[in-house]
């Protein structure tokens, strides 16, 4: 049974199914396509709070999305309270509806800087960051973490209780320790003690790739919802399809191939429009590769390689059409209802038109004093 905090919970919290924050993956074009397929709650890539405050363009780009993604959930990372507070203020000014704190990333490049899941080794510092973030913004603040640093320090329940007392409104727990990285299997039952420890919603994360996985994770953890991560790479339809299956029964089935092609083409165009030209080409290649693998499997390996070596967008589009087959229908021109359980499509191309300059115009012009 879900335990609720005595204060009001925003209607966007808790999501039944959410898209996880993934660096280098969940940018605006990807989240826009997840929304096309009915995914209701999508978290941004991890945004380094200090670099955001210093106007580093890649972090400003990650924090963009107002008017395109709703609700706009921006995840912040950092190791100093003042930068987390400033990052929260910037995110709110940029249109964030929810601000998430990263205490779960296991990457060595992040934990070596005492950020991400490294904060679970220092709960006092973690709580200072949480308190600074909550105090700095009127938006709901959520927290994503792991079970602990390792199996000798499974302190997620204790941190969760203290985070709740500090004002955090929802907690997502990946069912592994940091030292496990992504080895083995996520332990959904190990999330149950965190659910029991707090009154706010808890979301289960880790290895959820199907509706049956989601059902088992919910049953074993008692969580209020699930978060989908790596399984959504190349499958922007998956979070919406899993939510539809949880609500209405059955499996999470993929849309028709022509719709998947149309989505990939929209994602490709949005990615080229969103990033500088050469960067956009490189970013788009991994989404093309993931989608071909997800839809066509190993039989299309050589065709995937050939398409991903192309730089000319016209040739890339032609190659995708030839590989997938022509798609006469496009998700942006479909009717407002669909027969495959996906939510109403939206014009995802607005994502590509979104201006980074516009995002910068909605944030403070100066970083905090004494950087």
Hey, which residues are catalytic here? 105
141 in helix, strand or coil?
Answer: strand
Report the DSSP beta bridge partners of residue 205.
174, 227
C-alpha distances (whole Å) from 309 to each of 23, 208, 276, 298 are 23, 32, 18, 17
Alpha-carbon gap, residue 343 to 39, rounded angstroms: 8
Question: Biggest alpha carbon distance in the chain?
Answer: 58
Q: Is the previous residue joined to 370 through a cis bond, with omega within 30 degrees of 0?
A: no
Handedness of CA 240, 242, 245, 250 (dihedral sign): positive
Q: Work out the end-to-end distance of the chain between its first and last CA atoms, rounded to an integer number of angstroms.
A: 46
Structure tokens at 139: 């938006």
Q: Contact 64/94 with Cβ under 8 angstroms?
A: yes
Q: Contact 209/231 with Cβ under 8 angstroms?
A: yes
Closest C-alpha to 124, from 79, 82, 66, 181: 79
Using the 8-state DSSP alphabet, how is residue 47 labeled? E
Q: Beta-carbon neighbour count of residue 284 at 10 Å? A: 23
Report the DSSP beta bridge partners of residue 74.
99
């Amino acid at each position: 049974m879900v335990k609720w905090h005595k204060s009001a919970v925003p209607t966007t919290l808790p999501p039944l199914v959410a898209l996880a924050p993934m660096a280098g993956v969940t940018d605006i074009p990807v989240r826009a396509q997840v929304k096309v397929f009915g995914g209701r709650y999508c978290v941004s890539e991890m945004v380094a709070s200090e670099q955001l405050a210093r106007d580093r363009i890649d972090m400003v780009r990650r924090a963009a999305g107002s008017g395109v993604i709703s609700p706009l959930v921006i995840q912040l990372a950092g190791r100093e309270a003042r930068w987390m507070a400033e990052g929260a203020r910037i995110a709110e000014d940029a249109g964030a509806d929810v601000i998430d704190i990263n205490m779960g990333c296991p990457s060595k490049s992040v934990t070596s800087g005492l950020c991400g899941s490294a904060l679970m080794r220092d709960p006092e510092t973690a709580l200072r960051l949480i308190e600074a973030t909550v105090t700095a913004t009127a938006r709901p603040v959520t927290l994503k973490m792991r079970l602990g640093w390792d199996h000798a320090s499974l302190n997620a329940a204790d941190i969760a209780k203290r985070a709740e007392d500090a004002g955090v409104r929802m907690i997502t727990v990946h069912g592994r320790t940091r030292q496990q990285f992504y080895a083995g299997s996520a332990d959904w039952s190990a999330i149950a003690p965190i659910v029991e420890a707090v009154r706010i919603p808890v979301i289960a994360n880790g290895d959820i790739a199907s509706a049956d996985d989601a059902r088992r994770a919910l049953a074993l953890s008692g969580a209020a919802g699930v978060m989908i991560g790596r399984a959504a790479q190349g499958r922007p339809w998956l979070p919406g399809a899993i939510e539809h299956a949880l609500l209405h029964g059955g499996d999470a089935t993929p849309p028709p191939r022509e719709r998947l092609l149309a989505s990939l083409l929209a994602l490709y165009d949005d990615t080229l429009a969103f990033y500088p030209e050469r960067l956009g080409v490189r970013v788009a290649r991994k989404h093309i590769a993931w989608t071909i693998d997800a839809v066509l499997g190993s039989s299309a390996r050589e065709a995937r390689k050939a398409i991903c070596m192309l730089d000319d967008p016209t040739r890339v589009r032609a190659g995708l059409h030839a590989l997938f087959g022509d798609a006469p229908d496009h998700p942006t021109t479909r009717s407002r209802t669909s027969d495959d359980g996906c939510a109403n499509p939206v014009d995802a191309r607005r994502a590509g038109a979104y201006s980074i300059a516009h995002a910068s115009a909605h944030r403070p012009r100066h970083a905090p004093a004494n950087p």
